[in-house]
Structure 1
Amino acid sequence: MVLTVDQCSELLALVNASDVPASVATRARIVLWRGEDRQKKDIAELAGVSRPTVDLWLSRYGQGGIGELLDRPRGAGREQVPAPVRARILALTRASPPVETGLSHWSSREMAAFILRTEGVYVSHHYVAKLWRDNKLRPHRQGTFKISKDPEFAEKVADIVGLYLEPPGGAVVLSVDEKTQIQALDRTQPLLPIAFDASEKRTHDYVRHGTTNLFAALNVGTGEVLGECYPVRDGANFLTFLKKAVKPHAGKDIHVVLDNLSTHTTPDMTAWLAKNPQVTFHFTPKGASWVNQIETWFGIITRQSIRRGTFTSVKVLIGQIRDYITHWNTNPKPFVWTTTATEILAKVRLVQTNIKKLVDNNAK
């Protein structure tokens, strides 16, 4: 099976999409692996399915393309969606998501939830996905993808993704970073048109009471988060925090995924690492902090607790952050990393190819 660049891009988007069921992502991987000219018996073993299942999805993809890999809703009647709502979905899809959503691009589930929240009309994500297919819209391909210029990009991605997919036996993997300059904002009644809250349809004045810096460590295996707030982001505070993060795991090998920042490579940090050989740093590639799982958690706490909060002081803001972390840890769930380093690097090559085509076309 020979796949085109566009077909590979679509399949990789399906594999990487957060709202796609694992079973559907597996079907997309089956097709991608076949496109790499792998034997069907090897694909069956990699995917954890039977050989007939591999044949089934390869056949369906060959007959109807990527749409045949998706789950089909069972027993659902045809949705009666008003024309204005349908038009709004199409208009929203062609634009970037509103800032308050915190989204880089639309998913069918996020669009359905947004329509319910703003229009008061329920539509299923199946309807949204079908509407996109019928109108040849691919919002997952409208987002940005920053290409790292790190010469060691491939090696670092392989190293970190390997930790996520197959952590060393008995070892602890911590994803660590800082969210800096979190503002304590006190939202007041309308006075001056400084900021417009689209969800509440009114203008607010904001009073700023200062900032704090959140240092956080995500246990990749358990989903638990340790977080501490510091007034200053520097090497000394980072070392203090890291000591707290590794203390509960005494006696174990500890692998720490983090960005290669100056605060992470101070002389004091280097000396501490030399005295604690059980702790190993794994630096993300430059310009590719998305490899660090704690960034996903930072996005969640921002959307669910910080962005819409009202904080009359930095102390109140810090209390809110601590309460959220406590709540998170009552039922922590690890993020499931499913994309292999090979798939990530393939996506990067595809993006580079598309950019080159665009540059060449514009140069003509």
Structure 2
Amino acid sequence: MRRRPRENAIKPWRYRSWIFIRDPDFRAKAQRILDLYARTFEGIPLSEDEYVVSNDEKTSIQAHCRCHPALAPGRARAMRVNHEYGRGGAPACLASYDVHHATVFGRYESTTGIVPFAAVVEQAMTAEPHAGAKHVFWIVDDSSSHRSERAVDRLAGAFPNAVMVHTPVHASWTNQTEIFFPIVRRKAVPPHDVTDLAEVRDRLRAFEDRHNVTAQPFRWRCTLSDLDDPPAGLDRHARDRQKESTPLAA
């Protein structure tokens, strides 16, 4: 049955979405971030004691307690999870990701906001190597907890070596923590029984500890040339991924 849909010339169930660029300073803001990912700031290469940290928030990581026990997977059989569940709450995950060292500093709060953001910043900035760094560049979006110039001043006032860098409006893809969160969702919070918020937080912290030992930095592919024609850049990267996933001929 699957072979027929694959052979169709037109596949209406497949689609790619986009959002129009609305930020008038999109290119300048995006270029600044891409330069930091390439270890450059305002045309000057970063030194060894300068770091780039991407920060973001993920809300509603729900604790689902299944009403009936899940059936363990077996040979040629996927795990079976009952549809009915009880809600055990939903913590917010605030993560700061060091893009060049693949290190994560996470906090798990009941909500997001200025105070939780300040807490995760303090957690990262009071630990080495960031505490003694020359500069730590913080890439953040335009959410209310760090949107205004007052947020820039608060960060610089608390940690003089910290520099806040905002992503363009509606350009979450420029924030590398957006890559980390789907991995967390897929690997740390699978559809098993989770009794309460404490168990969710324990799983997230355990995953963070393992990630910081084993992970490698993401291979960031977007370059400045992609900013001038985003659809063409997406097509080019899609072709590159397809080449990498195609087995070599014997």
Using structure 2 for the length normalisation, give the TM-score. 0.77
Give the C-alpha shift of residue 296 in structure 1. Answer: 0.5
What SS does structure 2 have at the residue aligned with 1:256?
strand
1:94 lines up with 2:19 in the alignment: no
1:159 lines up with 2:76 in the alignment: no
1:251 lines up with 2:132 in the alignment: yes
Match of 1:271 in 2: 154
Counterpart-to-counterpart distance in 2, 1:258 and 1:320: 25
Give the C-alpha shift of residue 188 in structure 1. Answer: 2.5
What SS does structure 2 have at the residue aligned with 1:204?
coil
* Closer, same or farther: CA 262–346 of 1 in aligned 2, 3 Å: same
On the 8 A contact 2:155/2:163 being kept in 1, the answer is no
* Closer, same or farther: CA 238–150 of 1 in aligned 2, 3 Å: same
Of 292, 304, 312, the match for 2:195: 312
Counterpart-to-counterpart distance in 2, 1:94 and 1:335: 31
1:169 lines up with 2:50 in the alignment: no
Give the C-alpha shift of residue 350 in structure 1. Answer: 8.8
Give the number of the structure with larger relative contact order, counting CA–CA contacts within 8 Å between residues 6 or more apart.
Answer: 2
Of 71, 94, 97, the match for 1:215: 94
On the 8 A contact 1:165/1:338 being kept in 2, the answer is no
Counterpart-to-counterpart distance in 2, 1:275 and 1:246: 10
On the 8 A contact 1:215/1:228 being kept in 2, the answer is yes
On the 8 A contact 2:94/2:120 being kept in 1, the answer is yes
Is the radius of gyration larger for structure 1 or structure 2?
1
Match of 1:347 in 2: 230
On the 8 A contact 2:145/2:151 being kept in 1, the answer is no
* Closer, same or farther: CA 350–338 of 1 in aligned 2, 3 Å: closer
On the 8 A contact 2:62/2:89 being kept in 1, the answer is yes
Counterpart-to-counterpart distance in 1, 2:199 and 2:205: 10
Of 263, 267, 288, the match for 2:171: 288
Counterpart-to-counterpart distance in 1, 2:223 and 2:162: 24
* Closer, same or farther: CA 239–307 of 1 in aligned 2, 3 Å: same
Match of 2:239 in 1: none
Counterpart-to-counterpart distance in 1, 2:182 and 2:170: 17
What SS does structure 1 have at the residue aligned with 2:205?
helix
Give the C-alpha shift of residue 345 in structure 1. Answer: 2.7
Deviations 1:7-39 (A, max 9, x none): xxxxxxxxxxxxxxxxxxxxxxxxxxxxxxxxx
On the 8 A contact 2:141/2:147 being kept in 1, the answer is no
On the 8 A contact 1:177/1:215 being kept in 2, the answer is yes
Deviations 1:81-125 (A, max 9, x none): xxx45335457x9365xxxxxxxxxxxxxxxxxxxxxxxxxxxxx
Counterpart-to-counterpart distance in 1, 2:155 and 2:212: 29
Give the C-alpha shift of residue 159 in structure 1. Answer: 0.6
Structure 1 counterpart of 2:29, which letter?
K
Using the TM superposition, name which of 209-218 and 303-312 deviates more. Answer: 303-312
Structure 2 unmatched runs, 5+: 41-45, 70-77, 235-250
On the 8 A contact 2:92/2:112 being kept in 1, the answer is yes
Counterpart-to-counterpart distance in 1, 2:5 and 2:191: 25
Query: Once superposed, what is the RMSD of the aligned Cα atoms?
Result: 2.6
Match of 1:226 in 2: 105
Identity of matched residues, %: 25
Match of 2:21 in 1: 148
Using structure 1 for the length normalisation, give the TM-score. 0.54
* Closer, same or farther: CA 206–89 of 1 in aligned 2, 3 Å: farther
Counterpart-to-counterpart distance in 2, 1:221 and 1:161: 13
Equivalence map 1:1-364=2 (5 Å): 84-87=1-4, 89-90=6-7, 94=11, 142-167=15-40, 168-170=46-48, 171-189=50-68, 203-247=82-126, 248=128, 249-252=130-133, 253-265=135-147, 267=150, 270-347=153-230
